[in-house]
Amino acid sequence: MVQVYRSKEKVNEVHEHCPLCRHTDLIDGDIQGTGHVYFRPGKTKFWTFLDCNIKTTTKMCTRCGAVQWYGNKEKLVAVKQEDE
């Protein structure tokens, strides 16, 4: 098994390939139940001015059907900074 350490410059390239089959044709979308699905980081303060719900987006591979799930990194950084 080989472990890959990606540089900060190439981190966005991960979003352009399927993690299973390495295909590059990915379709943007959302996961939906009765509304949008959000990520809520653990151990966040209850009383805060900033909403802790982080919107998620997804991409689906047109070759194998794998779904990749992403969260808003900028909002996560803002929530973490407010907790400190």
- Give residue-wise pLDDT tens across range 10-55: 777 777 888 889 899 999 988 877 777 777 777 666 555 667 788 8
Three-state secondary-structure class, residue 76: helix
Query: For residue range 50-79, what is the model confidence (pLDDT) as tens digits?
Result: 677 888 889 999 999 999 988 888 888 887
C-alpha–C-alpha distance, residues 62 and 81, integer Å: 37
Cβ(26)–Cβ(16) under 8 Å? Answer: yes
76 burial type by CB count under 10 A (0-12 exposed, 13-18 middle, 19+ buried): middle
Cβ-contact 63, 18 below 8 angstroms: yes
Structure tokens at 27: 């379709």
Residue 31 identity (one-letter amino acid): I
Quote the pTM value: 0.65
